[in-house]
A = this chain, B = another copy of it.
């Protein structure tokens, strides 16, 4: 299936909204009602949903629960996914606790740090392991998704070690763009870039 990252982000947002509608007891919704919620056109929404195999009925709309099941399956969220977090500083620990609390499809199965003071400590549900164990632990637990939350200088090396151990997708919080290798999918999330964007729009009011 060839779906762009932007479409995927919209699907992810629809799914979250549909889950909430379902919790609130809503069983059907039209593409126009969805469109109003997201400030998108109904045509766009129908196109996105059709692409993932969701089909509505003219004049009736979408059945919420089957659509949730369909999108969940299409996104691969009907399975549990194990994550490894590399870097157990403020960011990595926050992420580990946040995911542990909040989300059904994801669990942090391993956390690594090179700091002897952190190794052996408990964070959320896991016990921190040394980064030297990456090559053993990742294949053992069959972890395909890695989170990088280390300083810039260490990020590329640790990403490479994750990939060598079998990780195939990486979410990177380090303030550096990681080089993508071997068809591994990397998503860079640099909080400072978002802040700089906000500042720019602040200033734009005065220009």
Contact = CB atoms under 8 A, between A and B. Distances in A.
Interface string A87-107: 000110111011100110110
B171 A195 contact: yes
Interface string A176-201: 01000001010101111111111111
Given A90-B94, A94-B94, A175-B102, A168 B202 contact: yes
Number of copies of this kind of chain in the complex: 2
Given A102-B192, A175-B16, A196-B77, A145 B202 contact: yes
B76 A203 contact: yes
Q: Is the interface of A mostly helix, strand, loop or mixed?
A: helix
5 contacts: A13-B177, A91-B98, A103-B192, A144-B202, A145-B198
Interface pairs A-B: 8 shortest CB-CB: A94-B94, A76-B203, A90-B94, A169-B198, A185-B201, A12-B193, A90-B97, A76-B199
Given A91-B94, A105-B195, A187-B197, 11 more contacts: A13-B193, A83-B195, A90-B97, A90-B98, A99-B191, A105-B199, A106-B192, A144-B202, A168-B205, A171-B195, A185-B201
